Structure 1
Amino acid sequence: MLSQRGRYALKALIHLARSDCASRQVSAIAADENIPRKFLEAIMSDLRRAGLVDSARGKTGGYRLARPADLITFGEIVRLTDGPLALIPCASRNFYKRCDDCPDETACVLRRIMATVRNEVSEILDRTTLADALKDSSEVALMLEAPEPLDAGS
């Protein structure tokens, strides 16, 4: 599940993408997106250290995207704020850890299914950019349309 930190980071970055290169102060983003200011300050600091936003001090300062919105993916943001996309550690690509209770990882059905889930989630998040989030919602729905669910009888 996406954490509140991840949700706020996504909302703030979409807000900056909407601002079209203009710097925005944390207080303005927080007010517009209904995010606690102190929490957003910490999140923006992390995003700056990760190279997703640039900051400037002063009256006309604030935050802006460090790269164009079409080069920042939801996958990058979620991994930064929430860590692995995999639901279990042995199915993670970037944060792999063997499960303590698994006698045979290669035969583990749970690992196989969760790796498939991770792959699907990763594929969607890694191809969806901040710029995509600003597109017409019907256009985004077509882009993200999931394949038909499998028939329970097959």
Structure 2
Amino acid sequence: MITQKAKYALRALNLLARAEPGVTVQIPEIAGQQKIPKKFLEQIMLDLKRAGMVESRRGKQGGYLLARPAAEITYGEVLRLIDGPVAPLPCLSLTAYRRCEDCDGETDCEIRRVFSRVADETRAVLLTTSLADSVSCETPELV
């Protein structure tokens, strides 16, 4: 299950993905349209900016816009940034592997075998679905 923070980040990014290229959107507009608490959104946007997903502009016409094309920002990238590893078990994480504390051996673990398939399928969807895919209502077909 993803956190509320991750849902808010994805909502804000999807709104920016629908904006005209080069046009900024201000925090109050994002917060209002997406029903995100303004202070929380400010923190989220700062995280997204540090990660190079959005950029900000100051001044009267200031606000936020995507720093990269929407087709280059995946749901998996956003979830990893906000929530951390997307694997259901620490021993299946590609970015933060950790052996399970109660593990007798990964090769014999029935739970790991099943959740390995879950993790692979989840990653396949999250790492191939971009903001552009989601705002166009199209998702890539899995092979």
CA shift at 1:104, angstroms?
1.2
Q: Indicate the residue corresponding to 2:74 in structure 1.
A: 73
Q: Indicate the residue corresponding to 1:32 in structure 2.
A: 33
CA contact (8 A) 1:54 1:63 kept: yes
1:130-145 equivalences under 5 Å are 130-135=131-136, 137=137, 140=138, 143=140
Residue ranges of structure 2 left out of the alignment (5+ in a row) = none
CA shift at 1:29, angstroms?
0.3
Q: Indicate the residue corresponding to 1:47 in structure 2.
A: 48
Residue ranges of structure 1 left out of the alignment (5+ in a row) = 148-154
- How many residue pairs get aligned? The number is 142
TM-score by length of 2: 0.94
The percent of aligned pairs where both chains have the same amino acid is 49
Q: Indicate the residue corresponding to 1:150 in structure 2.
A: none
The SS at the match of 2:127 is: helix
**Over aligned residues, Cα RMSD in angstroms?**
1.4
Distance in 1 (CA, whole Å) between partners of 2:68 and 2:99 is: 35
Structure 1 moving runs of 4+ over 6 Å: none
Paired residue type of 1:71: E
Q: Indicate the residue corresponding to 1:94 in structure 2.
A: 95
- My pick for the range that moved more, 90-99 or 40-49, is 90-99
- My pick for the range that moved more, 103-112 or 5-14, is 103-112
The SS at the match of 1:55 is: strand
